[in-house]
Amino acid sequence: MRIDFTGRYALVTGAASGIGRATARWLADAGITGLVLVDTDADGLSAVELACEVRRVVGDVGDPELWERIEAETPRLDHAVLNAGVPPSGVPVADMSAEQWRRVLGTNLDGVFYGLRCALRLLRGAGGSIVLTSSVAGIRPMESTADYGTAKAGLGHLAKVAALENAAADIRVNVVVPGSVDTGIWDAQEVFRQAVADSGEDRAAVVARVGALNTPRGRWARPEEMADCIGFLLSDLAANVTGAHLVSDGGISLVSARSRW
Distance CA 222, CA 99 (A): 31
User: How far from 52 is each of 2, 37, 160, 229, CA to CA, in Å?
Assistant: 19, 12, 31, 21
Q: 38 in a domain, yes or no?
A: yes
DSSP-derived secondary structure for 59-106: S-TT-HHHHHHHHHH-S--SEEEE--------S-GGG--HHHHHHHHI
* DSSP letter, residue 220: P
Give the pLDDT score at 51: 94
Give the pLDDT score at 126: 95
> Structurally, how many domains does the chain consist of?
1
- Which helix (DSSP H) or strand (DSSP E) does residue 178 occupy? strand 171-178
Q: 57 in a domain, yes or no?
A: yes
Distance CA 83, CA 133 (A): 5
Q: 186 in a domain, yes or no?
A: no
Distance CA 111, CA 108 (A): 6
Q: 196 in a domain, yes or no?
A: no
Give the pLDDT score at 261: 46
Question: CB neighbours (10 Å) of residue 213?
Answer: 11
- Tens digit of each residue's pLDDT, the chain (261 residues): 578 999 999 999 999 999 999 999 999 999 999 999 999 999 999 999 999 999 999 999 999 999 999 999 999 999 999 999 999 999 999 999 999 999 999 999 999 999 999 999 999 999 999 999 999 999 988 899 999 999 999 999 999 999 999 999 999 999 999 988 888 777 766 777 777 777 777 778 777 777 777 788 888 889 999 999 999 999 999 999 999 999 999 888 887 555 554
Q: 25 in a domain, yes or no?
A: yes
Q: What angle do CA 32, 51, 231 make, to 5 degrees?
A: 35
Distance CA 221, CA 179 (A): 8
9 is catalytic: no
Q: 246 in a domain, yes or no?
A: yes
Active-site option among 148, 186, 192, 220: 148
Q: 215 in a domain, yes or no?
A: no
Give the pLDDT score at 185: 76
What CATH number has the domain bearing residue 72?
3.40.50.720
Give the pLDDT score at 256: 59
Domain that holds residue 41: 9-181+221-254
Q: 154 in a domain, yes or no?
A: yes
Distance CA 48, CA 243 (A): 30
- The pTM (predicted TM-score) of the whole model is 0.91
**Could you tell me if 11 and 36 are in contact, meaning their C-beta atoms sit under 8 angstroms apart?**
yes
